Amino acid sequence: MSKMKGEDIVDDTVWIVKTHSPWCMPYAPPFKAQKIMVIVRNPIDVIMSWMNLILTGVHNLKIPFEIEKEYPKWFQSYIEKTVREMK
């Protein structure tokens, strides 16, 4: 499995983990930690980042058009569903 920039297992005591939190990732591997530092992203950024990930299947691409203009009903539905699940 390839790692993203900023994500690595340094040793058994230090992990750096990136996430779309507060989104639940159903297949994310669980791990235990004695200490944790959390840097929270703006939920609006997370929503748009997650949308690009699910539509492209990769972390480093954006869809090549403005989805809110091309597919406004889908976009509105996606936003409402995602916000409901985040709450």
Tell whether 67 is covered by a domain: yes
Asked whether the predicted pLDDT for residue 75 surpasses 70, the reply is yes
Tell whether 2 is covered by a domain: no
Tell whether 77 is covered by a domain: yes
Q: What is the domain count for the chain?
A: 1
In the structure, what pLDDT confidence band is assigned to residue 13 with cuts at 50, 70 and 90? low
In the structure, what pLDDT confidence band is assigned to residue 15 with cuts at 50, 70 and 90? low
How far is 30 from 79, CA to CA, in rounded Å?
A: 27
Spatial contact of 78 and 43, defined as CB atoms under 8 Å apart: no
Secondary structure letter of residue 41 according to DSSP:
P
Read off the pTM. 0.58
In the structure, what pLDDT confidence band is assigned to residue 36 with cuts at 50, 70 and 90? confident
Tell whether 1 is covered by a domain: no
Tell whether 3 is covered by a domain: no
Tell whether 26 is covered by a domain: yes
How far is 77 from 55, CA to CA, in rounded Å?
A: 15
Residue 54, number of CB atoms within 10 A of its CB:
10
Write out the residue range of the structural domain in which residue 32 sits. Answer: 8-86
Asked whether the predicted pLDDT for residue 20 surpasses 80, the reply is no
